[in-house]
Copies of this chain bind each other. A is one copy, B any other.
Amino acid sequence: MRDFSQDHHWLSINTATVRRQQGEEVGLARIIDQCAERGVRAISPWRDQVAAAGLDKVAAQLRAHGMGLSGYCRGGFYPAPDAAGLKAALEDNRRAIDEAKTLDAPCLVLVVGSLPGALAGKAAYKDIGRARSEVHDGIAASLEYAREVGMPLAIEPLHPMQAAERACINTLEQALDICDELDPGKSGMLGVALDVYHVWWDPKLQQQIERAGRERLLAYHVCDWLTPTRDLLNDRGMMGDGVIELRKIRGWVEAAGYAGYSEVEIFSTQDWWLRSGDETLDTCIERHRSVV
């Protein structure tokens, strides 16, 4: 297992972690500078942040800092109530793949979607089996294009509490079943983004991480699970402040062959997003060394 205690060579910052600082939205250019000042070697930006900052400008800024990506957030959201919606989702994912290429991302993270309309409180249908089928077909279609241009797709299984609105792929086992079905040869073009927040509870976690192996483990995200958790989406904890066994899980991931970044992704309306970005980033670095 790698020693993280001496530096933050393998730390990446998911830019959602500091997208709000002292309660205010902060642009990606500023976030990149804050990371660069601290010697952070990689980030994982979100599409809306990139769009607001300008794709080419972001690419140039990253090059100027010698900064890489640990992933690009995010493609997915495949299910739709009708054929036009399904087609639009595929087109949008194609654009996401192109952006990921421009930014030289190692993978495009897929939050696959679930019951269409549920995010707005009005599910167009309740059949999660149908959503899963649409996700399967959507990933298959995106994978064809991803192979053409050489951009790996990383399915992110989301916590079951987000199964209605955000992702109907909810366990690592389920994600790997899809990988094995669509990419039996383990080409490196389809794998998973493993976020401890979503999977820490899973009794089959160690077993499925072993199954995933190096070929399928394309990204690794950390934060912590707070007790109590006050919100189903935006109450993630800083590493060390919750109950997730971070060292143990990283041990499993590295034993399976993962040797990439440990990406910090924290959504925190009531705590970290209210603090200064400098404090949040300094804490990420400190905790990366001490508890991740």
- Identify the A interface with B (CB < 8 A): 115, 118-119, 121, 123, 126-128, 132, 159-161, 163-165, 168-171, 174, 200-203, 225, 227-229, 232, 243-245
Contacts and interface: CB of A to CB of B under 8 A. Distances in A.
A165 B227 contact: yes
Nearest to A125: B243
A225 to B, nearest CB: 6
A121 B127 CA distance: 36
Contact of A165 (B160, B163, B228): B228
Contact of A201 (B128, B201, B232): B128
A232 to B, nearest CB: 6
A146 B123 CA distance: 44
Contacts of A168: 201
A244 B126 contact: yes
A256 B163 CA distance: 25
Given A126-B243, A126-B244, A160 B229 contact: no
Contacts of A202: 160, 170
Given A168-B201, A170-B202, 9 more contacts: A115-B243, A126-B243, A127-B245, A160-B201, A163-B200, A165-B227, A169-B203, A174-B203, A232-B232
A81 B275 CA distance: 35
Contacts of A245: 126-128
A203 B170 contact: yes
A164 B225 contact: yes
Contacts of A121: 227-228
A118 B242 CA distance: 10
Contacts of A126: 243-245
Greatest chain B CB density within 10 A among A161, A227, A245 is at A227
A128 B200 CA distance: 9
